[in-house]
Amino acid sequence: MRVLHVSMKHDYGDESRASSYEYVHFYGSLLDLGYEVYFFDYMKEIKQTDKGAMNAKLLKIAMEFKPDVALVSLYQDEFEPETFEQLKNSCKTLCFFHDDTWRVDFTLKWAAHFDYFTSPDFECTNKYPRLGFPNVFHFPFGVNETVFVKKDLDKIYDVSFVGQWHPHREWLIKQIEKAGFKVKVAGYGWPDGSVSQQEMVDIFNQSWINLNLSNSTSWDARFLIQSPRALINTLRSPKTAEQLKGRHFEIPACGGFQLSYYVDGLERYYSIGDEISVFLNADDLTQKVDYYIKQKDRIQAMAKQAYERTLCEHTYKIRFKSIFNKMVAGK
């Protein structure tokens, strides 16, 4: 199978930042499946030329490469709708919408220009057909298990968090530290800065408790009154709902124990209390950190179960095989 993968190679198209989620997880998994893949970095093309030239080059490449499927991950409005309408004449087209739980208008604007589109929302196959978009596939996040691996390293961190800085995340970590726990923190915007992909995998392996913290808005009064910035950020943020994210699968793929924010539908992928644990608010978070750090045998047992389930059900190789079969069947 020939796959034209249209995405950004780097986070937010910034070459100074790490490889993008799509490049690490999608591109790598497609290659591992044995497909012939052409990766088209549209942000790089725009920077080298302009929007119009990039759109024209994509269509030219499609004519020459002759893909069976074009997989597209949009960011903003870098493309012209007509580009994808023309692309549909060359191959099946599939657009990934990773954040449609809070970017609904963006999804509805673009979905009609593709043969199929995806949503991580488990209600999507009920929701979108009622809005006139029956061509949707439920496609939750997953993991490239050849990158996020279990290493059986010694545990050197009681608690860790890897992810981009966000004011609510910072506040939650401070609550944990006030309770007497030291937290290893890494990621874009934090004082210690970002870590490499390999370093992130090592941290997941080396931590007794891996935190998965939401970056949606919070109306906890203690958070809002700490500073005017916290209140302004909450009022301005478009992220008004939690959603399942890639980190839910990356941590267990490394054999790590995960303490995560709760999102509707999470229990469809992992057994809460047996494979992962969740917290409901800041107080619950600190209490669970205190509880689990004293229950290391239980941490290891839960992490083992989550690891095994991840490899059996949640790799992107499994996800892609399933969705391609559905596309071929026209369902």
Domains in the chain, CATH or no CATH each: 2-142+315-329 (3.40.50.2000), 157-313 (3.40.50.2000)
Query: What pLDDT, in 10s, does the model give residues 200-225?
Result: 999 999 999 999 998 655 545 565 55
**Angle formed by the axes of helices 282-293 and 167-178, to 10°?**
50
Interacting residues of 143 by C-beta distance below 8 A, sequence separation 6+: 25, 246, 249, 250, 253, 310, 314, 315, 316
Helix, strand, coil: what percent of the chain each, to 5?
Answer: 45, 20, 40
Indicate the pairing of strand 157-162 with strand 207-212. parallel
pLDDT given at position 224: 52
Task: Round to whole Å and give the CA distance between 268 and 249.
Answer: 13
Task: Round to whole Å and give the CA distance between 273 and 282.
Answer: 18
Task: Round to whole Å and give the CA distance between 61 and 55.
Answer: 10
pLDDT given at position 219: 46
Q: Please give the backbone phi and psi of residue 70, each rounded to the nearest 5 degrees, phi first.
A: -110, 120
The helix/strand/coil state of 95 is: strand
One-letter amino acid of 236: R
pLDDT given at position 225: 55
HSE at residue 108, side-chain half, CA atoms within 13 A, is 11
Q: List beta partners, residue 94.
A: 71, 116
The two three-digit tokens of residue 276, written as one number: 């992962």
The helix/strand/coil state of 125 is: helix
**Residues 185/136, Cβ–Cβ less than 8 Å:** no
Task: Round to whole Å and give the CA distance between 57 and 71.
Answer: 16
Query: Which among 306, 298, 330 has a CA at the least distance from the CA of 256?
Result: 306
Task: Round to whole Å and give the CA distance between 144 and 200.
Answer: 14
Those residues of the chain that have pLDDT short of 50 are 219, 235
Q: Phi-psi region for residue 69, left (φ > 0), alpha (ψ -120 to 50) or beta?
A: beta
**Angle formed by the axes of helices 282-293 and 296-313, to 10°?**
110
**Residues 94/327, Cβ–Cβ less than 8 Å:** yes
DSSP annotation of 315: B
Query: What pLDDT, in 10s, does the model give residues 285-309?
Result: 999 999 999 999 999 999 999 999 9
pTM, entire model = 0.89
